[in-house]
Amino acid sequence: MIVKSISVQPLDVKKKQDGENPMVKGHNREENVPSLHQEWRHFKEETSLHGLKFATRNGKYRIRWLIWTLAFLASLGTLIYTLTGVFYDFKTKRTISNIAVKQVEELPFPAVTICPMSPYKRSHLNLTDELERYYLSISRIGPHLGHIVIDYSDPIYQEPGNETFLDQASFQTSDILYACLFDNIHVECDQLFEKKMTEMGLCFTMNSYDHVSKYGQRMTSQTGSTSSLTLYIMIDQDEYVYSKNVAAGYKVTIHDPEEEPNVMNMAFLTSPGFSVNAAIRMKKYSYLSYPYKAVGDKYCLETRDENFRNTLKYFPTYSEYGCTRECKRDYVVSKCGCRSHFDPGQLSVFHA
């Protein structure tokens, strides 16, 4: 009898677990999946996040565990608070104002508009007693003179106005400007100033929008009361008529060439017999348009943006005062179908 030796070897447990043994392939694989607690513990021990691996509860180091846990939670809370603030600033589009001082050799000179206190020149009007009573009634002192009887049946009120009336009846450049100097150089006043229709009547503007569009803005390199712009103005008060402004002299306003001059409310008065020096300083503001807020919960309108569309009908550029004038004009037109001499447009005008 021949007996063969048989050797018995244990199965490779690793191969069983790895499923390499076809006899046990797919059997009890779920028993080898690590639990969530094991994964979390492994993450804390292996992560590079500072302090997290020390925040492991251990019977021997409970105090250390408590300190590290509190420190980690405090750091996590600070991180969340900081990120929340950054996200809030991003959503609310908060901005930072930057102020810079820049030295330059020359600056653009602003637009200057001058207006006689009388909208009409007496010698240019066919001034009857009836018409003079009318001008007196609409003047500032009219309400204090008692009831002034106006006969609106007079033929003078029935005559339709025309576009050339105000130009013919107003002061001209040669009537008011005796001499003009810019940067200490004598300049013909007719070349320096252009006619401008305002709420006060016919005025005259230097560096107007039309001039800047065609020839560019005039620049100045000099400072001081005897430099830049100097005007010698004639008052000629004998030619005045009653108007809303009963003073004598001229109103002067300084503004941006692209803005409509607000000579009624944003101007200073030059009186007869006095020299007036006006010191100006250039301040330039740049505002961000929507969605950035500028004043409380309001948004700025960037009129120089290439996508901006000017909604005004009678002014080439948008400005707040120009919008106000146009709204007043449209309201009057809707009520009577006519407009004042001082308002823009092509409808029929008031005669007086």
Q: Which of 61-75, 288-302, 309-323 has the highest mean pLDDT?
A: 309-323
Q: Which two tokens stand for residue 239?
A: 């030619």
Tokens 């409380």 belong to 296
Predicted pLDDT of residue 267? 92
CA distance 285 to 303: 13
Q: What is the mean pLDDT of the chain?
A: 79
Q: Residue 26 pLDDT more than 50?
A: no
Contact 53, 68 (CB under 8 A): no
Predicted pLDDT of residue 2? 42
Contact 243, 130 (CB under 8 A): no
CA distance 153 to 151: 5
CA distance 208 to 176: 18
Amino acid at the residue 336: C
Please list, in sequence order, all residues whose beta carbon lies within 8 angstroms of the beta carbon of residue 212, skipping any fewer than 6 positions away. Answer: 257, 258
| pLDDT tens-place string over residues 2-14 | 444 444 444 444 4
CATH of 107-285, one of 2.60.470, 2.30.30, 1.20.272, 1.10.357: 2.60.470
Tokens 């948004």 belong to 299
- The larger pLDDT score, comparing residue 180 to residue 22, is at 180
Predicted pLDDT of residue 348? 58
Which residue ranges does the chain devote to CATH 2.60.470?
A: 107-285
pTM of this prediction?
0.67
| pLDDT tens-place string over residues 138-187 | 888 877 777 777 777 777 766 656 667 778 888 999 899 999 999 888 99
Averaged pLDDT, 16-25: 48
CA distances from 47 to 37, 52, 67, 183, 188 (A): 15, 8, 19, 74, 83
| pLDDT tens-place string over residues 237-278 | 889 988 887 888 999 999 999 899 999 888 999 988 888 888
Q: Which two tokens stand for residue 301?
A: 């309108």
Other Cβ atoms less than 10 A from the Cβ of 346: the count is 8
CA distance 240 to 247: 10
Predicted pLDDT of residue 6? 42
Q: Residue 114 pLDDT more than 70?
A: yes
Confidence of residue 231 (pLDDT cuts 50, 70, 90): very high
Predicted pLDDT of residue 1? 39
Predicted pLDDT of residue 140? 81
Please list, in sequence order, all residues whose beta carbon lies within 8 angstroms of the beta carbon of residue 52, skipping any fewer than 6 positions away. Answer: 44, 72
